[in-house]
């Protein structure tokens, strides 16, 4: 009985980690480019291969940046590094502007803005963008959930978006639990403009 209980607790403590594109992520991330190498990037709104999961921005880069439009085929990122801002534009097949949104670029060590309506990304010293969100709300258990995005430029100048979501805590304040899932989508660079 003691062994069964030990095995059960080990499984519960270990949790579950799902990362179907881990090999591809490791290959792309190891050869990434610094996003600060250019001021302007253009990417297709649809990934080379969709992750198959449902989360904000899955399969649609315009959705990730809150510039959603049914006619959007290209998302343009225009950086102003001295002003610490990024303008994101959704464009149609004729290169017409459909929607725009400006994001503040925060240093990776900066605290989260107090203004909850502010759109922002963190700019890491490694030359990648990321966001982190978490919610720690007690209910029938004590724990936290989180949602993280990491964006970087691949060696082919495409945009890689890694989405991670997870949860950790104590179910019914007794059983430890842990779950993490990571998904990767590659959005190809767009030509023209």
Q: Is the dihedral of CA 106, 109, 114, 120 positive or negative?
A: positive
Confidence band, pLDDT 50/70/90 cuts, at residue 139: low
Q: What is the pLDDT of residue 43?
A: 97
Q: What is the mean pLDDT of the chain?
A: 85
Helix (H) / strand (E) element for 85: namely strand 85-91
Confidence band, pLDDT 50/70/90 cuts, at residue 135: confident
Q: What is the pLDDT of residue 134?
A: 80
Gap between the Cα atoms of 167 and 85, Å rounded: 31
Mean pLDDT of 127-133: 92
Among 61-65, 129-133, 137-141, the least confident range = 137-141
């Amino acid at each position: 009985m003691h062994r069964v209980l030990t095995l059960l607790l080990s499984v519960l403590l270990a949790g579950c980690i799902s990362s179907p594109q881990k090999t591809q992520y490791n290959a792309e991330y190891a050869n990434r480019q610094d996003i600060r190498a250019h001021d302007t990037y253009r990417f297709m709104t649809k990934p080379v291969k969709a992750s198959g999961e449902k989360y904000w921005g899955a399969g649609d880069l315009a959705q990730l940046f809150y510039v959603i439009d049914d006619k959007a085929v290209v998302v343009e990122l225009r950086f102003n590094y001295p002003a610490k801002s990024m303008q994101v534009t959704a464009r149609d097949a004729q290169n017409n502007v459909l929607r725009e949104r400006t994001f503040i670029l925060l240093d990776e060590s900066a605290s989260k803005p107090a203004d909850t309506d502010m759109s922002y990304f963190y700019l890491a010293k490694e030359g990648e963008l990321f966001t982190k969100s978490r919610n720690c709300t007690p209910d029938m258990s004590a724990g936290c959930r989180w949602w993280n995005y990491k964006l970087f430029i691949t060696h082919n100048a495409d945009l890689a978006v890694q989405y991670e979501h997870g949860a950790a805590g104590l179910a019914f304040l007794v059983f430890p639990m842990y779950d993490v899932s990571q998904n990767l989508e590659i959005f190809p660079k767009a030509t023209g403009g």
